[in-house]
């Protein structure tokens, strides 16, 4: 490689054939470039007589934002084929940080398009990327890489796992776009749970996402999320879980209302296994003295006359459809 | 062998010239054969296909097994039944949507072990070592006991090995028809041929490649006619609109041709599976809706129907069996102590002592 100083304006940044990273120049990098310029050379090569960027996208972004006109570069020979150039771009980054799933998918697609043998991609690169070395994983990653870059960025930022991606790709393209609008600003766990629940509901009912979202309990939180109100995420998740789990949510609601109706003193707390696998109650008492303990126990014993306790235990041990 | 869709046979170099290998290859004549150093080569070829699970069922690997016998692990938090398993074949040519082997076996091809004499020795030692109680042993945990029997005739070998060992009950559990070899043998008192049953519509939609309900019941009837004891497994029980009527029909059809005294046991277990199966099964069986039912994660990490529903399913099924006086043949598979306790009270209520020789019923 040849070291040179290049004019930023000469770089053909439209040619993104070697681009597969999604991190953007952050404040610290911008600050550092403003102070001392770009010290570590970017890597370039020539295509159609113009320099194209191989590695150093964040540095170039920071340089442009800082108004730099020139920057140091290492130039790879023009006759190096795309695959060899990309291997360098890939491994240059590989040693420095781990990639998000979106970036992995973009990198794998480049390898595929630069005609690296699929068997080699599966057996050599997938394990390097901590993905299972199977054909179907490569297929999944290639399918992911075809998503709009806006969506890839969301997947990148929230560090999605393959299982969530697979669910997402199970929706028709128009529904994916709608889903992204709903979940864009949520945390990764919230995104995953919303997708999982919508996926299951969709398969169960055969309805489209928009049809599902018209249901009374879902329409409110969905419209709020579409307006950017992320606080509605919890409400949406509760509604989705209730729709997918009517038996347990119905029982839980009844149990909670019986517990409330018992009207126990604050220092006595009741708890139970929300999955109802164990049909038992857990009681805890708070007391700072023997007197307080006696009082708590007495009020508990007195409350046992209340029929509500029986109803509570019947609900916990309920068996039925 | 008509139903077997073996695309290719792989032979472990170590057993290339073993007598059983040669016999298997004769029976599989016409298929491409490749000699390999180990299973990894086969797994590698399978991984490169877009449906590795489906592919694993079409590639047969002839090899040895290091050891065969192990206690059934059951599942954490559940009441075990003291079962032992023999891993003679691995994987299964059938393709049930809910089969946990899809997730568990990790591209393991359909595998046949030819070092049966070692299994014979292991069993001999086991029979001597285990001094007390009755022990059930089966080959149906990592495979279907009879799916490959026309090819391997493992059933004949096993029945002969178990003959006379009255404290050790061999179970051959299957979703296939009856293999002809079994009808050529003298049945042994401690051998139970068992079939997993589900309503015909479930078999059609969820148990690809298996024998239909009628064929399984016919096989059981023939087995009884020949003098075998039989068993049935309602596992996984599936809940869907109209399930009750469907299962009632299955239960009734058992007792139309099979006397209750010839049935050694009937297990009940509802749909359950490890989380890894979910994406896999949804991908492989896009038409199946069984995974979209209301499910909960239990303490062992598996997905199951919620406990209230499971209990209700078992109660309904027990009711169906009580009508035929078969309640003392019932047990639950992989269920929690709480569910077991409730169930046992129900089937015991006002009836004679349960006598089946399982440890928890003593
Ligand atoms: S028959 Fe049993 S082992 Fe075979 S695919 Fe079905 S569940 Fe799995």
Flag whether B359 is in a domain: no
pLDDT exceeds 80 at position B181: yes
Of B48, B289, B292, the CB nearest to A122: B48
How do the pLDDT tens digits run along chain A, 321 residues long? 999 999 999 999 999 999 999 999 999 999 999 999 999 999 999 999 999 999 999 999 999 999 999 999 999 999 999 999 999 999 999 999 999 999 999 999 999 999 999 999 999 999 999 999 999 999 999 999 999 999 999 999 999 999 999 999 999 999 999 999 999 999 999 999 999 999 999 999 999 999 999 999 999 999 999 999 999 999 999 999 999 999 999 999 999 999 999 999 999 999 999 999 999 999 999 999 999 999 999 999 999 888 899 999 999 999 988
Could you tell me if B244 lies within 8 Å of chain A, comparing CB atoms?
A: no
Copy the structure tokens of residue A176: 């994916």
Burial of A241 (0-12, 13-18, 19+ CB in 10 A): middle
Alpha carbon distance A312, A321 (integer Å): 18
Q: How far is A120 from chain B (nearest CA, A)?
A: 11
Please report which confidence band the pLDDT of residue B139 belongs to, taking 50, 70 and 90 as the band edges: very high
Q: How far is A61 from chain B (nearest CA, A)?
A: 39
Beta-carbon separation of B289 and A203 below 8 A? yes
Q: How far is the CA of B144 from the centre of ligand 1 (A)?
A: 6
Report pLDDT for B2. Answer: 60
pLDDT exceeds 90 at position B73: no
Flag whether B244 is in a domain: yes
Beta-carbon separation of A321 and B312 below 8 A? yes
Q: What is the CB neighbour count within 10 angstroms for residue B145?
A: 27
**Which residues in chain B are closer than 8 Å to A160, comparing Cβ atoms?**
none
N- to C-terminal Cα separation, chain B: 42
| Ligand 1 atom closest to Cα of residue B100 | 8
Alpha carbon distance B121, B99 (integer Å): 31
- The phi, psi pair for A217, rounded to 5°, reads -70, -25
Beta-carbon separation of B306 and A318 below 8 A? no
Could you tell me if B346 lies within 8 Å of chain A, comparing CB atoms?
A: no
Alpha carbon distance A123, B355 (integer Å): 56
Q: How far is A268 from chain B (nearest CA, A)?
A: 26
pLDDT exceeds 70 at position B361: no
CATH number assigned to the domain comprising residue B277? 3.80.30.30
What is this model's ipTM? 0.87
Could you tell me if B279 lies within 8 Å of chain A, comparing CB atoms?
A: yes
Which of B4, B140, B142, B144 is the pocket-test mutation for ligand 1 (most atoms within 8 Å of CB)?
A: B144
Which of B53, B87, B94 is the pocket-test mutation for ligand 1 (most atoms within 8 Å of CB)?
A: B94
Q: Tell me what the mean pLDDT of segment B250-256 comes to.
A: 98
Q: How far is the CA of B170 from the centre of ligand 1 (A)?
A: 19
Beta-carbon separation of B308 and A247 below 8 A? yes
Residue indicated by tokens 């600050």:
A31
Look up the domain containing B178 and give its range.
Answer: 65-106+115-347
Beta-carbon separation of B283 and A166 below 8 A? yes
Q: Tell me what the mean pLDDT of segment B304-317 comes to.
A: 96
pLDDT exceeds 70 at position B353: no
Report pLDDT for B348. Answer: 67
**Which residues in chain B are closer than 8 Å to A166, comparing Cβ atoms?**
279, 283
Residue ID of nearest Cα to ligand 1 atom 7: B99
**Which residues in chain A are closer than 8 Å to B49, comparing Cβ atoms?**
135
**C-alpha B351: how far from chain center:** 30
Alpha carbon distance A152, A144 (integer Å): 8
> CB pairs below 8 Å between A and B: how many?
75
Report pLDDT for A305. Answer: 86
The CATH class, in words, for A1-96 is alpha beta
Flag whether B354 is in a domain: no
Please report which confidence band the pLDDT of residue B355 belongs to, taking 50, 70 and 90 as the band edges: very low
SS3 B277: helix
Domain count within chain B: 1
Nearest CA in chain B to A315: B308
**Which residues in chain B are closer than 8 Å to A192, comparing Cβ atoms?**
none
Percent of chain B's residues with pLDDT above 90: 82
Q: How far is the CA of A215 from the centre of ligand 1 (A)?
A: 39
Flag whether B306 is in a domain: yes
Beta-carbon separation of A246 and B312 below 8 A? no
B5 in Cβ contact with B56 (< 8 Å): no
Q: How far is the CA of B271 from the centre of ligand 1 (A)?
A: 13
SS (H, E, C) B39-58: HHHHHHHHHCCCCHHHHHCC
Nearest CA in chain A to B311: A319
pLDDT exceeds 50 at position B169: yes
Percent of chain B's residues with pLDDT above 70: 95
pLDDT exceeds 60 at position B357: no
Flag whether B46 is in a domain: no
Flag whether B24 is in a domain: no
Q: Tell me what the mean pLDDT of segment B43-69 comes to.
A: 96
Report pLDDT for B273. Answer: 97
Read off the pTM: 0.91
Domain ranges of chain A: 1-96, 98-164, 170-244, 255-316
Residue ID of nearest Cα to ligand 1 atom 2: B144
Q: How far is the CA of B208 from the centre of ligand 1 (A)?
A: 9
Of B51, B306, B315, the CB nearest to A276: B306
Beta-carbon separation of A275 and B307 below 8 A? yes
Flag whether B53 is in a domain: no
Report pLDDT for B356. Answer: 46
Residue ID of nearest Cα to ligand 1 atom 6: B96
List, as one string, the DSSP characters of B102-161.
HHHSTT--EEEE--HHHHHHHHHHHHHH--SS-EEEES-SSS-TTTTHHHH-HHHHHHHH
Task: Find, among A200, A202, A203, A197, the residue nearest to A221 by Cα.
Answer: A197
Q: How far is A122 from chain B (nearest CA, A)?
A: 8
Tens-place pLDDT, residues B190-231:
999 999 999 999 999 999 999 999 999 999 999 999 999 999
Alpha carbon distance A87, B96 (integer Å): 42
Which of B97, B210, B212, B273 is the pocket-test mutation for ligand 1 (most atoms within 8 Å of CB)?
A: B210
Beta-carbon separation of A203 and B296 below 8 A? no
pLDDT exceeds 80 at position B350: no
B264 in Cβ contact with B39 (< 8 Å): no
pLDDT exceeds 80 at position B359: no
Please report which confidence band the pLDDT of residue B344 belongs to, taking 50, 70 and 90 as the band edges: confident
A228 in Cβ contact with A194 (< 8 Å): no
Please report which confidence band the pLDDT of residue B349 belongs to, taking 50, 70 and 90 as the band edges: low
B171 in Cβ contact with B267 (< 8 Å): no
Q: What is the CB neighbour count within 10 angstroms for residue A238?
A: 13
Which of B54, B104, B142, B175 is the pocket-test mutation for ligand 1 (most atoms within 8 Å of CB)?
A: B175
Q: Round the average pLDDT of chain B to a whole number and report it.
A: 92
Q: Which residues have CB under 8 Å from A52's CB, separation 6+?
A: A11, A12, A15, A17, A18, A44, A45, A46
Residues with CB under 6 A from ligand 1: B 92, 94-96, 99, 101, 144, 175, 207, 210
């Amino acid at each position: 490689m040849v070291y040179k100083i290049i004019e930023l304006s000469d770089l053909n940044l439209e040619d993104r054939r070697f681009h597969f990273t999604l991190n953007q120049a952050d404040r610290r990098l911008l600050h550092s470039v403003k102070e001392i310029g770009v010290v570590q050379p970017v890597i370039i090569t020539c295509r159609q007589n113009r320099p194209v960027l191989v590695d150093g996208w964040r540095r170039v972004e920071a340089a442009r934002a800082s108004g730099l006109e020139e920057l140091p570069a290492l130039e790879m020979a023009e006759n190096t084929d795309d695959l060899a150039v990309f291997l360098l771009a890939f491994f240059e980054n590989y040693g420095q940080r781990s990639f998000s799933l979106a970036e992995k998918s973009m990198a794998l697609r480049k390898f595929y398009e630069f005609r690296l043998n699929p068997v080699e991609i599966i057996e050599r690169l997938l394990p390097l990327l901590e993905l299972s070395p199977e054909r179907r994983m490569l297929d999944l990653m290639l399918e992911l890489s075809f998503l709009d870059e806006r969506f890839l960025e969301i997947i990148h930022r929230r560090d999605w796992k393959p299982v969530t991606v697979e669910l997402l790709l199970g929706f028709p393209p128009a529904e994916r776009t709608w889903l992204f609008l709903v979940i864009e600003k949520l945390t990764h766990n919230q995104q995953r749970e919303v997708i999982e629940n919508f996926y299951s509901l969709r398969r169960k009912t055969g309805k489209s996402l928009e049809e599902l979202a018209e249901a009374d309990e879902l329409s409110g939180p969905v419209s709020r999320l579409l307006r950017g109100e992320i606080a509605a995420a919890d409400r949406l998740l509760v509604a989705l879980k209730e729709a997918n789990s009517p038996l347990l949510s119905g029982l839980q609601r009844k149990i909670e209302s019986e517990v409330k109706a018992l009207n126990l003193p604050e220092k006595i707390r009741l708890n139970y296994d929300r999955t109802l696998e164990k049909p038992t109650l857990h009681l805890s008492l708070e007391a700072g003295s023997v007197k307080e303990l006696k009082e708590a126990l007495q009020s508990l014993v007195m409350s046992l006359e209340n029929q509500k306790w029986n109803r509570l235990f019947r609900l916990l041990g309920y068996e039925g459809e | 062998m008509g139903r077997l869709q073996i695309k290719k046979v792989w032979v472990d170099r170590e057993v290339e010239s073993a007598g059983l290998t040669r016999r298997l290859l004769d029976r599989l004549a016409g298929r491409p054969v490749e000699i390999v150093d180990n299973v990894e080569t086969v797994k590698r070829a399978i991984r490169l296909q877009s449906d590795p699970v489906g592919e694993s069922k079409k590639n047969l690997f002839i090899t040895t097994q290091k050891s065969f016998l192990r206690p059934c692990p059951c599942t954490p938090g559940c009441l075990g039944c003291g079962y032992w398993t023999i891993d003679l074949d691995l994987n299964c040519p059938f393709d049930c949507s809910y089969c946990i082997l899809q997730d568990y076996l990790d591209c393991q091809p359909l595998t046949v072990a030819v070092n049966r004499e070692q299994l014979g020795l292991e069993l001999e030692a086991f029979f001597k070592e285990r001094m007390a109680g009755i022990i059930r042993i089966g080959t149906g945990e990592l495979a279907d006991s009879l799916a490959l029997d026309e090819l391997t005739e493992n059933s004949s070998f096993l029945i002969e090995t178990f003959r006379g060992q009255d404290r050790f009950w061999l179970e051959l559990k299957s979703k296939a028809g009856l293999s002809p070899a079994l009808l050529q043998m003298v049945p042994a008192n401690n051998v139970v041929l068992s079939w997993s049953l589900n309503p015909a519509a479930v078999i059609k939609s969820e148990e690809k490649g298996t024998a239909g309900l009628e064929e399984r019941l016919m096989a059981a009837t023939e087995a009884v006619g020949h003098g075998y004891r039989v068993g049935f497994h309602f596992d996984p029980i599936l809940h869907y609109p109209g399930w009750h009527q469907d299962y009632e029909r299955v239960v009734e059809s058992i007792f139309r041709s099979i006397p209750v005294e010839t049935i050694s046991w009937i297990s009940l277990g509802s749909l359950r599976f490890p989380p890894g199966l979910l994406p896999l099964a949804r991908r492989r069986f896009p038409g199946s809706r069984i995974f979209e039912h209301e499910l909960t994660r239990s303490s062992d990490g598996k997905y199951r129907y919620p406990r209230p529903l499971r209990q209700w399913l078992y109660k309904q099924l027990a009711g169906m069996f009580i009508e035929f006086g078969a309640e003392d043949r019932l047990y639950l598979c992989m269920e929690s102590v709480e569910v077991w306790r409730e169930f046992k009270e129900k089937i015991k209520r006002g009836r004679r002592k349960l006598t089946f020789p399982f440890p928890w019923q003593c």
